[in-house]
Structure 1
Amino acid sequence: MPDLVHRTEQELLGALIYDPSLVNDVPYLLPRHFQHSDHQAIFAAFLDIYANEPGIWGATMAERINLQIGQSSIDQTRLTGLVLSSPDLASVAVYGRMIQEAALRRELLSHADRLTQAAGTVRGIDPELDHFALLSDALRSNAVHFDTSLTYELAVQAPRQDLRTLREEALLADLIQHPEYLHEVAAWLDPEVFTSPDRRSIYEAIIAVDHYGEPVQELTLSWELARARSADLTLAGEPIDSRFDATPAAPGYLARLAVTAVEAGVSIELGRDLLADHSRAELAAGAARITVNAVNAVTIAHQPAAHRTLRHERGFAQDHSAPLLTPPDQTLGLDGPELRQ
């Protein structure tokens, strides 16, 4: 499948060909902001035609672009397909922002490549070259892998018989398809109620996208998930070059949720049920921990006195096996005694 940038550029171009006046929502966009060369050519031709013939649109605009570009790879059928596949004309401003964001990140990476080349491979000799290398790493930390493979192992599971999974998916599907219920649900539904990290991430992405004031849809959610995943990898300190080596499990999980048949507003009832189940599970786990600690305390209390003394001398508390933290015998550096006064 095309990556997220490719899909976003297609959606924007299709919307603009259908209604050229929407270009006023993205006045900052330039052909160089598009990643794919065909899209650069289409957008450049569109701008030129719209400036001279602002009254044409739809099939006529597609025909004019085809004639002006004159490339076999960009024909009338392809341009018309862009129009037919564009799902949301009202999201042109959002798609433009996403395209510009991707362009900025590509520019940062190009600067990072130049700094890496200038820094060379030897460190510790020239402070200036070492600084170049640090700047390159800092710029690369802003890299985002906008890939539609942001899909999850859940999509390739065997037929789902787990009722809990089905309820969580139905809740997410409702919020994606009917985001007007999100404000009520998000006020009290903790992300921790989701049993899968993937579904938890999708729920958090739905909240984030809505908070930005952007439409909650499969494309914007995929974009936010890519950005969040890259941020998590940066914070985890994983090597930049190996961040996206793993092959994604399967495409289409978000797309499937976006078309799953679900009753509008069911997320409220499902959310309450999931929260109740989660609370019961937390209480049961807490009770189990209390029971285990109580059993350990009784066991220790019935041990021979000599054994309890030996455990105490080895640094264990008498109620359970947590080690005691005692001051070190030796000083920690030359200023140790002064620091302890």
Structure 2
Amino acid sequence: MTPDLYAERALLAALLRDPRQIRKTLQLTGIDDSEFGDPGHAQLMRAIIDASQDETLDLSDIDGWNTMRRTVENAAVAGGRSRAWVHEIAASRITPSQAVEYAVMVHEGATRRGIAAHAQRIADMISQAPPEQVSAQITIAHNVMIKLAELWRLDPEILTAEATEADDTEVLETPQAPSLLQRGLAALRAPLPFLDGTARTEDRLLASLVTDPGQIAEVRGWLDLEDFTAPGRAEIYAALVDLADRNRPIDAPTVLFEASRQVAISARQADRFMAHCAKAEPGQAISLARTLVATDTAAYISAQAQKIITTVTAGTATPSQAIGVAMTTLQRMQESLARLNTGRQVTASDSMVYVPPPPDRATMSTPPNAKTSM
């Protein structure tokens, strides 16, 4: 069993061995069966709670003890367990007077599982759900974090500030890669299935910006350098923005030369860039940039969700640290989605080139030969 489940077992044993601890533990900690990870433990805790609510039961008297134990055993048997199983739990080597401390451990285990479950839900949604649904799920998770902070009598604002400061310090202490393409989430994106074809999208996007530099102003507010992960592409985008800022003429050779000031570009990379520019069509950059940012956002949120899960499952973070990291990370997820939503606003280029909308999911799920009624 995991440490969390051993803590649950210890609490149950303490309450079975010394029923005088039950009402005090419930009152001081507010522990509930819903916080137990093991279904059998949760069932037994519910039986103990229900039995303790009988005001006629004197838990300071041995007859009251025996009545309570019989009630709990009967509930366990009714739920498919055995009396021997209850006796086995009660016989655990624990200190009954530590019931409150065991309950706090169960609280902490439930906190960790709850945070990880919400983060996993976000990670599962990001590759297939629309941004609005992901945003709603992040909001739900954030509200859960606030409730957990209240449970632990913690100030959410202080937790967020401390987690942000710790995270910023960690980032500052991390050695920075010399190339822009190695910054951000490049290493984390590799295993994600929805990143196929990213380099091709980046090439077409950059070529379209070279062909129609007016699109630079339309994307620069929400398309970041870190959205480019293929070698040399971030530097080319940086060169495009820099040339636009300086009101310099923009063409393929000039952009290529400016980019080579930041990173070494091979002859093969240069040839590929020039070839893409030669066949690029104006007006496509906005749509391609949206695709790239959507991919980046999905990868970022997936990685951040994994960060939350890693933090709470590592076992080294206190409840305050785990909640703080979760709240700060969820806030950054929302900021990433906000950038995606900014890019979805209609621009001047949208009226220049027709881009068919993505297929409706309901239409896609209809079999090709299915008959439809009028």
TM-score (structure 1 length as normaliser): 0.39
Larger RCO, structure (CA 8 Å, separation 6 or more): 2
Task: Give TM-score scaled by structure 2 length.
Answer: 0.36
